[in-house]
Amino acid sequence: MKALEVKDIVKQFPGVLANDSINLSVNKGEIYAIVGENGAGKSTLMKIIYGLYTPTSGEIFVFDKKVDIKTPHDAIGLKIGMVHQEFMLIPRFTVTQNIVLGDEPSKGIVFDYKKALSEVKELSKKFGLKVDPAEKVANLPVGIQQRVEILKILRRGAEILIFDEPTAVLTPEETEDLFKTLMKLKENGKTIIFISHKLKEVIAIADRIAVLRRGKLQGIVEKGKTSEVELARMVVGRDVVLKIPKAETKVRETVVSVRDLTVKSKRGIIGLKEVSFDVCAGEIVGIAGVEGNGQAELVNALIGFTRPVKGTIAFDSKELRVITPFNIRKKGMAYIPKDRKMRGLVLPFRSRENIIMGQHTLYPFSKNGVLNNIEIDKFTTKKLEEFDVRPRDIHTRARNLSGGNQQKLILAKEMSMEHKFLLASQPTRGLDIGAMEFVYHKLIEEKERGMAILLISLELSEILGLSDRILVLYNGEIVGETTPDKTNEEELGLMMLGLKKKKRVTK
């Protein structure tokens, strides 16, 4: 029996053909993966199936019946549920409030919260998804938040579950947990559609894999009949070697040294405990760790957003007394934030305006406080070329750039600033393979130019491939230091969970 079938789906956006007559059919009880680069049309297709977009043309069949899905409400009625890439949760609400919203148990007009709590408890037991129904979502780690999302759609009686890039924000352990959940759901007879651009995962979990490229269906492969390399070729349309370039390391003088740094988190508890490390010119120090184990606090202290409770940060062996974003940047720090839209760019600004942010007070961009537009334009044109930002138009507003190009613009901005130290916080987050490779190349280039680089990443392959030294952060503390040739993903994974410690070789 077919759970879902789409026929000749076309979605035309102004200027972009996002879906070009796509045909798919998904059997009941299978895990069906859809892979493709960012912008290949995966999310568009799923949003059509979920009623968030209306297709330009085409037909959809659910359990062999032709249907017309205009709103998510229709989709829910057809037992289709979706776990979105950006969670659709309300942080201020409790787990239960989030799960029952839109279909609340009630006595008359009164919301029966007690009944809702017990319903959620039961549901979580039934599917083996452990959550605390009374906890506020804001206090939950990402993996658990995702569980809340899954419970939310299961409560609506969903038979077809769509997961949009579900592992993008998860740690390896959380991913494994999710896969176990998916298998359990499959045993329960649920149909799962799994969207991803992580090929390894897709091969591990899916029964069948459909590949999309530039809005077109490239082909469908069965479980066990493909390899990562073959799949990658289908996805990208050319041979790709997802290997990270190696560079020679010439470690020189210490640029940044952090000593006993203790920082409070936004919630007011100690998030980083007495962390010490050095970063030298010409090396990349990788910080591995599950998200929420002190990375945010470390970053905020380093860029001067949060005043440390204790400890010091020294630049060129000179201790900084007061750390503000202004004076630490003057010392020579560049910063690639993990959240491009919040900390990287001013979205309504044009490329030419964004690229000078932070160096706008310097010659030749301005003199005596007056901007020099000719110089700014010249500089922007050059940098857009150098960092391959598309479109090359210096007047494009940042909000109209794709994620990958926004990131390239940030790299162009940060790397062209006078600096010695680069803080890269999850620099490839949400990027497709092409853009990732670009970021890796640029980081290696930086290193070869003698920059000191601190790389914070959740992707172990990235940490292992790029770093000269690796520090593992767990629960706000550095639980181990190692080098890529002395460790592997498995061992790092254990350390990230605090299950294994490794003595620090150096300080």
Partner 1 sequence: MNSNIPFLNASIAQALDYTAPILFAALGGVMSENAGIVNIALEGMMRFAAFFGVWGSFVSGNPWVGLLWGVGIGILLGALHAYITVKWAGDQIISGVAINVMAMGMITYLLESVFKTTGYSPPVAYFGAPASKVHLTFLKGIPILGAFAELTILIWFALILVVVLHFVLYHTVLGLRIRAVGENPHAAETLGVNVFKIKWFAVISGSVLAAFGGLALSLGTLSSFTNSMAMGKGFIGLAAMIFGKWTPFGALGAILIFAGAQVLQLFMQGTATGFAKLIPLGFYLSLPYMLTIGALIGVVGKAVGPASDGVPYKKES
Partner 2 sequence: MKDVFKRFFFGKREKYWWMNVLVPLVSILLAFIVGAIFIKITGRSPVVAYKLLFGASGLFPGPYWKSHFSEMLLSSSMYIATGLGFAIAAKGGLFNIGAEGHFIVGGITAAYLGYAKPFAGLPKFIHLPLIIVGVILAGGIWGAIAGYLKAKRGIHEVITTIMLNWIALYLIEAWLVIGPMKAAVETGISGTPYISLSAKLPKILPPTRLNISIIIILAVTFLIWYLFYKTTFGYEIRTMGHTLIFGMEAPKAAGINVERKTIQTMFIAGAVAALGGAFMVLGVLFQYPPIFEGGYGFDGIAVALIGQNEPLGVVLAGILIGALRTGATTVQLAHIPKTFPSIIEGFAVGFIALQMLIRYWLMKLVRGRKKSVQTEMGGGAK
Q: How far is the CB of 75 from partner 1 (least distance, A)?
A: 9
Output 209 or 345, the one with its CB closest to partner 2: 345
Instruction: Report helix, strand or coil for 444.
Output: helix
Count of CB atoms situated within 10 Å of the CB of 347: 15
Q: Is 8 left (phi over 0), alpha (psi -120 to 50) or beta?
A: left
Binding residue count for partner 2, defined by CB under 8 A: 35
The residue ranges that bind partner 1 (CB under 8 A) are 47, 50, 52-54, 71-73, 76, 82, 84, 88-93, 97-98, 101-104, 106, 109-111, 152
Residue 37's contacts (CB-CB under 8 Å, 6 or more residues apart) are 197, 213, 235, 236, 432, 433, 434
With b for 16 or more beta-carbon neighbours within 10 A and e for fewer, the 324-346 pattern comes to eeeebbebbbbbbbbebeeebbe
For partner 2, give the closer residue by CB, 361 or 488: 361
In the complex with partner 2, which residue's Cβ is closer, 195 or 424? 424
Q: Is 15 in the site for partner 2 (CB under 8 A)?
A: yes
**Three-class DSSP category at 195:** strand
Which residue's entry shows tokens 């900084």?
A: 320
Whole-angstrom Cα distance, residue 272 to residue 264? 7
Pairing, β 57-62 against β 65-67: antiparallel
Question: Does 268 participate in binding partner 2 (rule CB under 8 A)?
Answer: no
The string of DSSP codes covering 297-309 is: HHHHHHTTSS--S
**Shortest Cβ 456–partner 2 spacing (Å):** 15
- Is 297 a binding residue for partner 2 by CB under 8 A? The answer is no
Find the shortest distance in angstroms from Cβ 360 to partner 2: 5
Q: How many angstroms separate the Cα of 95 from the Cα of each of 98, 119, 318, 362, 475? A: 5, 12, 47, 49, 24
Residue 152 binds which one of partner 2, partner 1, none, with CB within 5 to 8 A depending on kind?
partner 1
Residue 92: name its binding partner from partner 1, partner 2, none (Cβ under 5 to 8 Å by kind). Answer: partner 1
Identify residue 290 by its one-letter amino acid code.
V
Least gap, CB of 373 to partner 2 (angstroms): 8
**Residues 332-371 as x/- pattern, contact with partner 2 by CB under 8 A:** ---x-x---xxxxxxxxxx--x---xx-xx----x--xxx
- Return the one option of partner 1, partner 2, none that residue 97 interacts with (CB less than 5 to 8 A, by type): partner 1
Which of partner 2, partner 1, none is residue 47 near (CB under 5 to 8 Å by kind)?
Answer: partner 1
Identify what 346 binds: partner 1, partner 2, none; CB under 5 to 8 Å per kind: partner 2
Q: Could you list the beta-strand ranges (E) of 300-371.
A: 310-315, 318-319, 333-336, 366-367, 370-371
182/170 Cα distance (integer angstroms): 15
53 binds, among partner 1, partner 2, none (CB under 5 to 8 A by kind): partner 1
CB 301, min distance to partner 2, A: 13
Q: What is the DSSP string of 259-299?
A: EEEEEE-TTSSEEEEEEEEEEETT-EEEEE--TTSSHHHHH
Measured from the CB atom, is 147 or 273 closer to partner 1?
Answer: 147
Residue closer to partner 2, measured from CB, 57 or 324:
324
429 binds, among partner 2, partner 1, none (CB under 5 to 8 A by kind): none
Q: Output the smallest distance, CB 95 to partner 1, in A.
A: 14
Angstrom distance (rounded) from CA 54 to CA 303: 44
From partner 2, partner 1, none, interface partner of 109 (C-beta below 5 to 8 A by class): partner 1
Q: Whole-angstrom Cα distance, residue 117 to residue 503?
A: 45
Q: How far apart are CA 204 and CA 197, in angstroms?
A: 13
**d(C-alpha 26, C-alpha 277), whole Å:** 51
368 vs 506, beta carbon nearer partner 2: 368
Specify the pairing of strand 284-288 against strand 310-315: unpaired
| Residue 358 binds: one of partner 2, partner 1, none (C-beta under 5 to 8 A by kind) | partner 2
Sequence-ordered list of residues with C-beta below 8 angstroms from that of 450, at least 6 positions apart, any chain: 250, 252, 281, 282
Closest separation in Å from C-beta 74 to partner 1: 9
Does residue 411 contact residue 353 with C-beta atoms inside 8 Å? Answer: no
- Shortest separation between residue 59's beta carbon and partner 2, angstroms: 22
Q: Sheet holding 57-62: strands in order across?
A: 16-27, 2-13, 57-62, 65-67
Site string for partner 2, 393-432 (x = CB under 8 A): x-x-x-----------------------------------
Q: Quick one: which of 324, 461, 483, 488 contacts partner 2 (CB under 8 A)? A: 324
Residues found near partner 2 in the complex (CB under 8 A): 13-15, 303, 305, 324-326, 328-330, 335, 337, 341-350, 353, 357-358, 360-361, 366, 369-371, 393, 395, 397
